[in-house]
Amino acid sequence: MNPALAEQVSAWIAHDPDDDDRAELQALLDAGDEAQLVRRFAAPLTFGTAGLRGPVMAGPAGMNRLTVRRATQGVVAWLTEIGADATRGVVVGRDARRGSEAFNDEVVGVLLGAGVEVFEMPGPLPTPLVAYCVKALGAAAGIMVTASHNPPLDNGYKLYASDGAQIIPPNDEIVERHARSAPTPTLADRASPLHHRVPDELLARYRAHFAERFGATDGKGLRIAYTPLHGVGGAFMMRLFAQAGFGSVTAVAEQFAPDGTFPTLPFPNPEEPGALDLAMACADGIGSDLVIANDPDADRLGAAVRGPTGWHLLRGDEIGWLLASSLLRTMADPHDVVATTIVSSTLLEEMAREAGVSFARTLTGFKWISRAAGEGVLRFGYEEALGYAVDPAVADKDGMSAGLALARLAHDLAREGRTLLDRLDEIESRFGVHAISQLSIRASGPGGSHAIKETVAALRERPPTALGGVDVSEVVDLARGHAGLAPTDGVLLVLGTSGRVVVRPSGTEAKLKAYIEVTTSPTDVSSLESQRAQAAGLVSLIRADLEGLLAF
């Protein structure tokens, strides 16, 4: 056994508050299981702008009570260092994943012990409600224990600033610096006068606001199948649907109750193949033409629409276009802004230009989208990974309000004898086909992150001259910054007027992602399908080339 590693493990055990985790690590130490200990200690989780996210396991490389305890001490020190008014309190929430309740308890205990006022959510509830409550209460920060749509063994920790948006650099570095050197904390329990439960009245205000904005007095005519994918959105979203007038919503029974094991899903992500199969089967049973899905913490929105040849799973960009087609019509103030990211479709910019609305393109992640308006007001923002912000009341992606907005659009179109697919035809005939696809390569094992970095570095140094038979007209190293954006790890490959490809590591999972977009000129509806077929063919050729180019 490496003596330095053994000493590191013993030091961790001495501070770990969890009996089971201590015993597990001691057993590995006693058995001399260096491989397992290296897995748990060699690459500790670090606090980034996405907070923490990783497997639930003992040791600094995992999500556990000590990791969460130290992260929260880092948050307390961060509030002090940036001069935030900690007396305004911190909103604390959690989902229903493995370990979430215990981690939530650690967050509350550390904050109270540090003299910070706590506004704790009344139970496992969706992430967007924490973002909403931070703004509504004027809190100093918000903490959400969640791993969103990650695999079942993962959990995480998300931090919101006082504006209700996710933190940006250098705040993550400040939290990490203080977390690394955190001493044994003073803890306090919920008997403290500093502890409060977020009142039901505040959550009711959220529902009332969005029910009024996107509700329909005759919404019962629209039949919807809804699934929360075993997450915490179910009961809250069904209540929101009903309050907004959508009384013909049927929940997918097998996926309704919160369950951190996600028994019907290999990956609880609406983007994954098969994730909406049960919901579509439910829709078939009730004669519904619309499926709406939330991911496990309800900050993302997935959807499917029945078409002439069967179900059409809406891509993230397609949902973005649909929502924009409705929301842009309501914008008249010169301070209104819409935004999307460098890996999302370029179509929103064209739609905004025609509508006379200011547009902003950001780096990947809602922490940037939420702040894209500057001195203006973000009226709509989206990222292709099923994240949508449809109202300034929530400064983060919100799958619940976005789901309601999509339902209202489907309802309004149905009254005209049209569907969401008809609206997509209208959009693409007006602005041209924008064929989109994503290649996602998952890396496994402790060397996965290194393999991803090496692959991106190789692409940067030796980019292809053509993809899918189309010349690469420009190679942009995003690590050097681009179009006024801060540097980020990734490469942009421009394919002349035919489209573009962006390759970058995922910010939340061990994946390498390539985002493909092929564009055509505007056309009439009668030529739309042939243009789509041609564009899809080119996308397939580009994708095939990328699979060979990016293979680990």
d(CA 550, CA 535): 22
* Residues contacting 402, CB < 8 A, separation 6+: 301, 319, 323, 388, 389, 390
Element (H, E) at 311: strand 310-313
d(CA 383, CA 365): 7
Among left, alpha and beta (phi > 0; psi -120 to 50; other), residue 533 is alpha
d(CA 111, CA 116): 5
Distances (CA, A) of 395 to 97, 294, 367, 392: 24, 18, 9, 6
d(CA 546, CA 516): 10
CATH number of the domain located at residue range(s) 204-430 in this protein? 3.40.120.10
pLDDT of amino acid 509: 73
d(CA 14, CA 28): 15
Q: Into which CATH architecture does domain 43-198 fall? A: 3-Layer(aba) Sandwich (3.40)
d(CA 509, CA 295): 15
Per the CB < 8 A criterion, the answer to whether 400 and 298 are in contact is: yes
d(CA 34, CA 27): 11
Task: Say whether 223 sits in a helix, a strand or coil.
Answer: coil
Is the preceding peptide bond at 170 cis, omega within 30 degrees of 0?
A: yes
Per the CB < 8 A criterion, the answer to whether 109 and 70 are in contact is: no
Residue 277: closest CA among 254, 250, 246: 254
pLDDT of amino acid 219: 86
d(CA 456, CA 514): 11
CATH fourth-level superfamily of 432-549: Alpha-D-phosphohexomutase, C-terminal domain (3.30.310.50)
pLDDT of amino acid 450: 84
Active site residue 148: yes
Q: Which amino acid is at 151?
A: P
Catalytic member of 100, 148, 358, 401: 148
pLDDT of amino acid 446: 65
Extents of the domains making up the chain: 43-198, 204-430, 432-549
Q: Which amino acid is at 490?
A: G
d(CA 230, CA 254): 8
The pairing of strands 499-505 and 141-145 is unpaired
Q: Which residues pair with 305 in a beta bridge?
A: 290, 312
Q: Do domains 43-198 and 204-430 have the same CATH topology?
A: yes
d(CA 448, CA 52): 18
Per the CB < 8 A criterion, the answer to whether 316 and 399 are in contact is: no
d(CA 420, CA 375): 33
pLDDT of amino acid 209: 98
Q: What angle do CA 357, 507, 157 make, to 5 degrees?
A: 100
d(CA 398, CA 403): 8
d(CA 547, CA 512): 11
d(CA 85, CA 347): 41
* Residues contacting 512, CB < 8 A, separation 6+: 440, 441, 443, 452, 455, 456, 503, 504, 505, 506, 550, 552
Distances (CA, A) of 195 to 111, 116, 126, 208: 9, 9, 21, 26
The mean pLDDT values, 10 residues at a time, for the chain of 552 residues are 92 97 96 95 93 96 98 98 95 98 98 98 98 98 96 96 97 97 96 98 98 94 97 98 97 98 94 95 97 98 96 97 97 96 96 98 95 97 97 98 98 96 96 94 78 92 96 95 90 96 85 95 88 96 95 83
Residue 503: closest CA among 449, 456, 451: 456
